[in-house]
Chains A and B, each alone.
Chain A
Amino acid sequence: EIVLTQSPGTLSLSPGERATLSCRASQSVSSSYLAWYQQKPGQAPRLLIYGAFSRATGTPDRFSGSGSGTDFTLTISRLEPEDFAVYYCQQYGSLWTFGQGTKVEFK
């Protein structure tokens, strides 16, 4: 099973700042099968990024994904108030796994 480790656990930032979230895999992941989700309290997760860097429908262009192999990054260029949430990375190898999440909170 591929284990995904996200860092940091919590990111304390202010609106307008840049957020950089990391996702590290225990073994190489195909970039085609790395996704990022956003989850707000009381809501189901929402797909943001798939294939490591492709934005899902409705994802604002301030969100960008990058990386390959075992290291992937989600960047939010300028935080908007609605971006404060928990973010999960996910991979598909032979099975699916999620990272433990990074919470982006108001500083």
Chain B
Amino acid sequence: QVHLVQSGAEVKKPGASVKVSCKTSGYSFTGYDMHWVRQAPGQGLEWMGWIKPNSGDTNFAQKFQGRVTMTRDTSISTAYMELTSLRSDDTAMYYCARVAVLRGRSFDYWGQGTQVTVSS
């Protein structure tokens, strides 16, 4: 059974950084790209970027370039997303999601989400 389990909720002050983890199980971690998607309160889904776990290669939406880092630890099948210089409008639920290459690069499994709140 495929599982993506994310780290717990975070409260950060403006200007701080946050690092969210996504621990996977039930499949070959290095065989599937991992994406990160966020959702502000009452808003839609916003794609942030991806990481290829086998190589560490990344690609980000232009909006997040320079502020986001995505890494992975293959020894524990875990992906990480770090967002720096946090602002109030970064308050959102952050999801990791596995890409299904054989399903049109759609996202077939999702983490449960990590709530990040940015407040002074």
Interface residues of A (CB under 8 A from B): 1, 32-35, 37, 39, 44-47, 50-52, 54, 56, 88, 90, 92, 95-101
Interface residues of B (CB under 8 A from A): 35, 37, 44-47, 50, 59, 61-62, 95, 97, 100, 103-108, 110-113
Known contacts A44-B111, A44-B113, A45-B110: A98-B46 contact under CB 8 Å:
yes
Give the residues in chain B near A34, CB-CB below 8 Å.
104
Task: Give A60 to B35 CA distance when docked, in angstroms.
Answer: 26
Q: Among B37, B61, B103, B108, which residue has its beta carbon within 8 angstroms of that of A51?
A: B103
Asked if A56 contacts B47 (CB within 8 A), the reply is no
Asked if A97 contacts B107 (CB within 8 A), the reply is no
Q: Among B46, B95, B103, which residue has its beta carbon within 8 angstroms of that of A44?
A: B95
Q: Is chain B's interface secondary structure helix, strand, loop, or mixed overall?
A: strand
Asked if B59 contacts A47 (CB within 8 A), the reply is no
Task: Give A45 to B110 CA distance when docked, in angstroms.
Answer: 7
Report the minimum CB–CB distance from A59 to chain B (whole Å). 11
Give the residues in chain A near B50, CB-CB below 8 Å.
96
Give the residues in chain B near A97, CB-CB below 8 Å.
47
Give the residues in chain B near A51, CB-CB below 8 Å.
103-104, 106
Q: Among A32, A54, A56, A88, which residue has its beta carbon within 8 angstroms of that of B45?
A: A88
For A44, A52, A90, the residue with the greatest tally of chain B CB atoms inside 10 Å of its CB is A44
Q: Among A46, A54, A98, A99, which residue has its beta carbon within 8 angstroms of that of B103?
A: A54
Write the chain A residue with the least CB distance to B113.
A44
The contact sample of 10 A-B pairs, CB cut-off 8 A, is A32-B104, A37-B107, A44-B95, A47-B108, A50-B104, A90-B45, A96-B105, A98-B37, A99-B44, A101-B44
Task: Give A1 to B47 CA distance when docked, in angstroms.
Answer: 12
Asked if B108 contacts A98 (CB within 8 A), the reply is no
List the 7 closest pairs (A to B, CB-CB), nearest first.
A35-B106, A44-B110, A50-B106, A50-B103, A51-B104, A98-B45, A92-B105
Write the chain B residue with the least CB distance to A99.
B44
Write the chain B residue with the least CB distance to A90.
B106
